[in-house]
Amino acid sequence: FCEHPHVYTLGKSGHESNLLVNEQELKEKNATYYKINRGGDITYHGPGQVVGYPILDLDNFFTDIHKYLRYLEETVILTLAEYGIKAGRSAGETGVWIDAENPQKSRKICAMGVRASRWVTMHGFALNVNADLNYFGNIIPCGIVDKAVTSMDKELGQKVDEQEVKKKLERHFADLFNCTIV
């Protein structure tokens, strides 16, 4: 797990036009921008997010990147359920969503972008715990124009202990992957 300073990252399948600010505006917001080698489009990382970068040799589990993504999503879904947040998947869109079945209310709480080389995973997920959601206004998150972004603190109406969230994520990950976290 880690926490990044304000940064926007663009995945291999992304479009630079989804960054809505110029270089000067990035400086004013104390943010940076990088093109990186993960899947997905553009996203924001910053304080108040729990970012997880699991490094697994999928040869030891299963060689199916889509199954891997669904397990990562399930890790987050189970964690959010412990806080009384009902989350799930949105058909055809990677990540974790709230009210995914209702397009007018649907909002993303966790973005995912991964890469695997010889079945060894890289990159991962970014769960908005206490994130400043205003930073998402500078991009078209994940290239999706018609859905909002949310965070645990916004959904619950109070700040959330990020260390506690990490422990819960770790436990669910270990259970789903039937592994020990080191």
Instruction: Kindly list the catalytic residues.
Output: 142
Question: Among candidates 131, 164, 90, which has minimal Cα distance to 98?
Answer: 90
Asked if residue 147 lies in contact with residue 137, where contact means CB atoms within 8 angstroms, the answer is no
DSSP run (H or E) holding 166 = helix 162-177
Structure tokens at 152: 């645990």
> Which residues lie across from 45 on neighbouring strands?
7
Q: Other C-beta atoms within 10 Å of 133: how many?
A: 17
